[in-house]
Amino acid sequence: MQKFLNDAAEFLPILLQGVWLTIVVTIGSLLLSTVLGLLWALMRVSGVRALTLLSGGLINVIRGIPIIVLLFYLYFVMPDFGVAMTALQASILGLGIAYSAYQAENFRAGIEAIDKGQVEAAQTIGMGWWLTMRRVVLPQAVKIVLPPYGNIMIMLLKDSSQASTITVAELALQGKLIASSTFKNTSVFTLVALMYLTMSIPLILLVRHFESKANRK
């Protein structure tokens, strides 16, 4: 135990640098996936056939491509088309696009759970489609999608480790570099696991809070 504590004191400052990048990647890709996911969902429920088919096709394509392949494509292939980006930018964009498909299905389910009668009532008093969405549907849908949204946050936090495949020195890559140079695999990866767990627990508790509130209603 004392050996582990000594290793922890030595490696924590380096690993914490990786934690910062992990948080940046997670928050950045979460925001991007939320915006894109809401856009895909609104297109799906718009009632316009072309938009419905387009968003459905995009979601299926995104879900069918592994995240690691998407990251490789953005970072290694896009420069061939004149679009170069840093590893951090590519990781945020790749994870944001990948998770937008899951966000879209979550938002669509929340929107479709709202009573159709409320939509019809809003339209009878002269509200257009977008105004109905903004004032009637979306405020109620947010409460429905919060628990699964929390689960997506947890998944995204863990999948941020895939950014290491394109050289983003987040927590997983920092741990791998330290382990390869010191051969202290047990100490290093135990610390990495504990740090991921430390970041995940508040999100897990937040999800449980949202779920308990939803179940009380």
Quote the pLDDT of residue 98: 96
Asked if 106 and 149 count as a contact pair (C-beta separation under 8 A), the reply is yes
Helix axes 49-64, 87-112, angle to 10 degrees: 130
Asked if 95 and 166 count as a contact pair (C-beta separation under 8 A), the reply is no
Quote the pLDDT of residue 86: 93
Quote the pLDDT of residue 215: 64
Quote the pLDDT of residue 217: 57
Instruction: Using pLDDT thresholds of 50, 70 and 90, give the confidence band for residue 65.
Output: very high
pTM exceeds 0.85, yes or no? yes
77-112 burial, b at 16+ Cβ within 10 Å, e below that, comes to eeeeeeeeeebbebbbbbbbbbbbbbbbbbbbebbe
How many other CB atoms sit within 10 Å of the CB of residue 38?
Answer: 20
